[in-house]
Amino acid sequence: MAFDDANAPSPAVDIHTHYIPKGWPALEEVTGHPGPWPTLRVDGEREAMVMLGEKEFRPITDDAWAAEVRLEQMDLDGVDVQVLSPTPVFFSYSRDVATAARVSAIFNDLALEIASQGEGRLIPFCQVPLQDTDAAIAELDRSISNGHRGVEIGNHVGDVDLDDEGVVAFLQHCAERNVPVFVHPWDMASSPRLDRWMAQWLVGMPAETHLSILAMVLGGAFDRLPESLRLCFAHGGGSFAHWIGRMDNAWHRRPDLIATSAMPPSHYVGRFSVDSVVFAEPSLRLLVDALGHENIMLGTDFPYPLGESPAGSLIRSASFLSQNQREAMLGGNALRFLGLVPQALPSSRQKVAL
C-alpha cells in the first residue's frame, strides 16, 4: 500500500461509496415490464455510460466495477476498507413489488461478485424493495445470509417518508438483526429552477436528507425504534445540523403543529450518524459541534465526480480536530457502525476482521 504507515492505529473506512456492475441482465426482459430501465453503454475498455432508456444518465469508469482498480485508488488515498452501496437509480421503488424484489436480487448478487474480488476490503451493502415491508425484509435476510453486511435505502418512497409504519417496521427488523442502515437521498424534485446547474444535487439532495431526519424526529420514528438501530445519513446529514436551533425553537413555540415527538429535535442527536462529505473545514466543524465527532464517519461518494478526492483529505487536514477525534472519524466510528473489530497484523498495521 502507498499508505503503509506502520504507526497507523486503526483502519481508514470509507462508509459512502457506490458500485455499478459492468453489465447486468436486460431488465425489461427479466421482469417482463417496459422501461425505461437502466442499461449500460460500454464506450471503451475503461469507460461506460449509464443510460435511462435513450437518455444518458451518468458517465462512469472502471473504478465503478473493477475491484482491482478500486483497491489501487484506496491504496493511494490511504483507505483500508470501502463500503459498497448501490447506486440509487436501481432502487425501483416505483415498480410493483415483485419486479422491485427481482431487480434488488440481481444487483445484490452482482455486488457480492465485485466484493469477492476485493481481498476482504470491500464490504457490500444491499438494496431492498422498500415499498413493501415483507418483501424488503425477505431480501434483506437473503442478502445478509449471502454475505452482505448492511443495507442502503433511499430517503423516501414516493410521498412516503421514513416515519411511515412500514418503513419503521423494516428498520425495527434491521435493529433486531443488528444490520447497519445507510440512508441516501434520491428521486429529488424536478422543476425549471432545479434543472439548472445540477441544482437537484446541490440543493435538492441536502434538503431531502434534512427532511428525512426531521420526519424521523417529528414523525415519532426515533421514539418507536430502539436506540440499538445503527443509522447513517449521507452527505453530512444534509442541512439538518445547521438548523437544529431553528427546529428546536419551532418545536417549543408552535407545539400545536410541531411538537409531535416526545422531545425536541436536538434530543435525538446521537440516534444517527452522518458521513463527512461536506468538503470544507468550517462545514466539518459545524458537524462536529452540532452532532459530535463520535457520530461522523469518513465518506467520499467514490467513484463519482462530486465526491471527495483524495479520500479523507478533509478529516486529515482539519486543524481543529484532536488526534483521537481524527482517528475516530477516519475509521473507529465506522468499525462500530459496521460491527467490525480491527485486528493487529505483525507489522502493527491494522486490518479488519470480517
Span 166-217, pLDDT tens digits: 999 999 999 999 999 999 987 767 778 878 887 776 776 788 999 999 999 9
The predicted-structure confidence for 25-65, as pLDDT tens digits, reads as follows: 999 999 989 889 999 999 988 999 999 988 999 999 999 99
**115-149 core/surface letters (b: 16 or more CB in 10 A; e: else):** beebeebbbbbbbbbbbbbebbbbbbebbbeebbb
Ranges of beta strands (E only) in the chain are 13-18, 38-42, 47-52, 55-61, 81-85, 122-126, 150-154, 181-184, 231-233, 273-275, 296-297, 341-344, 350-353
Cell numbers standing for residue 88: 440509487
Residue 8 has pLDDT above 60, yes or no: no
pLDDT in tens, 332-342: 999 999 998 76
**What is the pLDDT at residue 341?**
73
Could you tell me the residue range of the domain that residue 328 belongs to? 13-353
- Residue 3 covered by a domain: no
Tracing cell 434538503 back to the chain, one arrives at 207
The total of structural domains in the chain comes to 1
pTM of the model: 0.92
Residue 349: what pLDDT?
A: 39
> Is 181 within a domain?
yes
Give whole-number Cα distances, 168 to 22, 160, 164, 174, in Å. 34, 11, 6, 10
pLDDT for residue 346 is more than 90: no
pLDDT for the residue numbered 191: 79
Indicate the average pLDDT of the chain: 91
The CATH number linked to 111 is 3.20.20.140
**Cβ neighbour number for residue 2 with a 10 Å cutoff:** 9
Say if 4 falls within a structural domain: no
Position 278 in a domain: yes
Query: Is there a domain that residue 64 lies in?
Result: yes
Answer whether residue 21 is part of any domain. Answer: yes
Residue 2 domain-assigned? Answer: no
Amino acid at 251: W
The more confidently predicted of residues 7 and 295 is 295
Domain membership of residue 225 (yes or no) is: yes
